[in-house]
Amino acid sequence: MARFALGRGEFGLIAALRRAAGRARGPWRVAIGDDAAVLRVPAGSELVTTVDALVEDVHFRFATTDARSLGRKALAVNLSDLGAMGATPVGCLLALGVPRHAAGARLDGFLAGLLAAARASRCPLVGGDTVASPVFFASVTAFGVAPRGRALLRSGARPGDRVLVTGTLGASALGLAWLESGRGGAAHARAFVRRHRVPRPPFGLGARLARRGDVTAAIDVSDGLVQDLGHVARESGVAIDVDVARVPLPAGAARVAAQLGLDALASALHGGEDYELAFCARRTAPSAAELSRKLGVPIREIGRVRRGRGVRLLRDGKVVQIPGSGWDHFKAPAARAEE
């Protein structure tokens, strides 16, 4: 490890990363500059760790995103996973593949974005491996801590629990579709494009939910709401009913979706990359409105956990089918475009 060595002579980069790591507060005893990083996990805490990879022309294209946004996103998607476990971020490692032609401005932009996100979320970069690669890829491993035995799992939902979700859903999928359609920077679509380029997980919320004691399960909405709630249902051995009329859509979604020939609700249910938090809470927990006020984050109740299997979509109490599929890692839009 500790190979932030892009050929000889690039010690400026290593030095910059070291300064970033050196400034980092937190429990790290050794960061960039050794074979590995050393972390003191505070007593009474557990380590929570996750990895996510973003690959050029599969998860993103430089035609539709800039390197700096990508750097921020590479960390954000991992912070989203940590939040879904109820963990507080403490640091990250980066494995970065960089094509020769991208070793200049693109690399600098990516690192600037990542380091800015790391500072903002108090999740310092503590090491990594930067390698030459035919395509640009970034694999971030993030570390967090959670009070012992209090991490939020996918497996804790019980019949009778309420199902809640933060923010709004579908903006990222619509933003991506807008970019892919080549429609350019229309003002009313800008917020959607931004949501796609740099997701904004509800930082810090997961850890606060974990401390409550009445939140039973959580997952980040990365593969699409229905697919992700399906993971919770399967891991918990329960069924989940979603009232589609309650699913929160972003302002202006209907207009953007219509222009793209898409359905805003289908994008919200199946679109993916929202990086909002879906969670289950006991019946005795405060209402969504009350939680929302207490925690300073928009929260909506969208369904119930019951005995059974799978996820059902309901409208006015009747089962409905709303077509669309969650994120399939081998059918990314960029890849699809080649076919």
Within positions 99 to 158, which residues make up the interface with a copy of itself, using CB under 8 A? 100, 103, 127-135, 137, 139, 141, 143-144, 146, 148-149, 151, 153-155
Backbone φ and ψ of 126, nearest 5°: -115, 5
Q: How many residues bind a copy of itself (CB under 8 A)?
A: 78
Considering only 85, 111, 266, 305, the residue that binds a copy of itself (CB under 8 A) is 85
The token pair that represents 226 in the structure block: 């229905």
Which amino acid, one-letter code, is at 327? W
**Site string (12-41) toward a copy of itself, x via CB under 8 A:** -----------------xx--xxxxxxxxx
The C-alpha atoms of residue 107 and residue 264 are separated, in whole angstroms, by 35
| Residue 305 to residues 12, 162, 167, 313, Cα–Cα distance (Å) | 54, 6, 20, 12
Among residues 146 and 179, whose Cβ is nearest to a copy of itself?
146
Task: State which of positions 286-315 bind a copy of itself (CB under 8 A).
Answer: none
Q: Residue 7: phi, psi to the nearest 5?
A: 75, 175
Which lies closer to a copy of itself via its Cβ, residue 87 or residue 266? Answer: 87
Q: Which of residues 224-253 bind a copy of itself (CB under 8 A)?
A: 231, 235
264 to each of 127, 228, 251, 254, how far by Cα in Å? 41, 18, 11, 6
- Asked whether 178 and 83 are in contact (CB, 8 A), the reply is no
> Is the CB of 187 or the CB of 330 nearer to a copy of itself?
330
Residue 306 Cβ, how far from a copy of itself at the closest point, in Å?
A: 22
CA distance 76 to 70: 10
How many whole angstroms separate alpha carbon 237 and alpha carbon 218? 14
Distance of closest approach, residue 153 Cβ to a copy of itself, in angstroms: 6
- Binding pattern to a copy of itself, positions 257-276, x when CB under 8 A? --------------------
From the list 48-56, 62-70, 189-197, 291-299, the region that binds a copy of itself by CB under 8 A is 48-56
CA distances from 232 to 120, 156, 205, 268 (A): 30, 8, 19, 18
Minimum distance, C-beta of residue 196 to a copy of itself, in the bound complex (Å): 18
Answer yes or no whether residue 60 interacts with a copy of itself by CB under 8 A.
no
How far apart are alpha carbons 91 and 145 in whole angstroms? 10
Stretch that binds a copy of itself, among 61-69, 76-84, 182-190, 307-315 (CB under 8 A): 76-84
Q: Report the nearest approach of a copy of itself to the CB of residue 190 (Å).
A: 28
